Amino acid sequence: MTIGEAYRLLYSITLSAYALLLFVPLYRAIRGPRITDRILAVNMMGTILVSSIAILAVMLKEGYLVDVSLIYSLVSFLSVLVFASVYIRKRAADPGDKGNLAAHPSGTASPAEDPEEGRNA
């Protein structure tokens, strides 16, 4: 086995692994349960696709695929920004929405209790 064949095998294995790993964020994007999970899943799918295109560029020795990868990363980044701004506007338009804290006796929200505001680190 030559070095070229070894690299081709490595690239093929990596692309196959990425193809399988693409289903993990796809499942999270469909299943949810929160919109923030879906936004992060779309971002992760974009990152996997960008890196797959970059590996293809090296594997096929085609320089234009690097340009395609860069353009796709910009489009993916902009789509996440649009999703996030829509989510923020939706949250701002409904000030009475406290998520699952409507029955909380104190009426205050803490990040550990509110699933939309954050998680305990």
Residues 65-116: tens digit of each pLDDT: 999 999 999 999 999 999 889 988 988 888 766 554 444 444 454 455 555 5
pLDDT for 115 equals: 54
Among left, alpha and beta (phi > 0; psi -120 to 50; other), residue 99 is left
Taking the C-alpha atoms of residue 10 and residue 33, their distance in angstroms, rounded to an integer, is 36
DSSP symbol at 107: -
CB 120 within 8 A of CB 112: yes
pLDDT for 100 equals: 45
In one-letter notation, the amino acid at residue 13 is I
* pLDDT tens, residue by residue, 6-58: 999 999 999 999 999 999 999 999 998 998 899 999 999 999 999 999 999 99
119: its two tokens: 């998680």
pLDDT for 120 equals: 55
Give the domain ranges of the chain.
Answer: 3-93
pLDDT for 93 equals: 85
4: its two tokens: 């070229």
pLDDT for 78 equals: 93
CB 20 within 8 A of CB 27: no
Taking the C-alpha atoms of residue 15 and residue 39, their distance in angstroms, rounded to an integer, is 24
Write phi, then psi, for 61 (nearest 5 degrees).
55, 45
